[in-house]
Amino acid sequence: MFDTINGLPLHPLVVHGVVVLLPLAVLGTIAIAVRPAWRRTYGPVVVGIAAIATLLIPVATSSGDALEDRVGSPGDHEDLGEQLIWFAVPLLILLVVLVFLSRRAERDSATEEGRTAALAVSGAPAGRGLVTVVAVLSVVAALAAGVQVYRVGDSGAQSVWGATVRE
């Protein structure tokens, strides 16, 4: 099923989607983590980009398996590629939680403005603290995913071009 399209191997076509979208999700995650004001506007966009990238990873690995049957083993690239999903899924989950908690904290903050100052003070710091923890974890997951997508891409390029390009 995940073999060719118009006679070309599907794998390099799909991989370009992952290689573009996952780093874009990494940069978007870092941006909305350090700039809370951007979360409302850009948070859903970053979540969408991360979701598409994450959904493309199994397609890339399946098409890579089909390509391997035609051209041989890519070495470490296959193992690294199969690990990428375990970096993308936590990033996606943390992004969803970050955007959700940020919106909830924003809504709760607006609701608490009508209450007494004592009630607002008792509930607000815990919510903000949780959002901060999730933002930090999101950045860590984003950096890990960024490193892994680099490792996968580099190993793939080495397996294809390493023996043919001379310095």
Phi, psi of 126 (to 5 degrees): -65, -40
**Does 32 score more than 80 pLDDT?**
yes
- Report the alpha-carbon distance of residue 162 to residue 122 in Å, rounded: 60
The predicted-structure confidence for 48-66, as pLDDT tens digits, reads as follows: 999 999 999 999 998 887 8
In a domain, residue 166? The reply is no
Residue 105: per-residue pLDDT: 79
Tell me the whole-structure pTM to 2 decimals. 0.83
Within the chain, residue ranges assigned H as helices are 10-34, 39-71, 76-83, 85-112, 117-161
Position with higher pLDDT, 15 vs 30: 30
In a domain, residue 117? The reply is yes
Residue 65: per-residue pLDDT: 75
In a domain, residue 123? The reply is yes
In a domain, residue 146? The reply is yes
Domain count, the chain: 1
In a domain, residue 140? The reply is yes
In a domain, residue 167? The reply is no
The predicted-structure confidence for 103-153, as pLDDT tens digits, reads as follows: 887 777 666 555 544 444 444 455 778 999 999 999 999 999 999 999 998
Give the residue numbers spanning the domain of 12: 4-161
- Report the alpha-carbon distance of residue 98 to residue 95 in Å, rounded: 5
DSSP-assigned states of every residue in 90-128: HHHHHHHHHHHHHHHHHHHHHHHTTS-HHHHHHHHHHHH
Q: Which tokens sit at 153?
A: 């891409």
- Report the alpha-carbon distance of residue 116 to residue 55 in Å, rounded: 46
Q: Which residues make beta-bridge pairs with 133? A: none
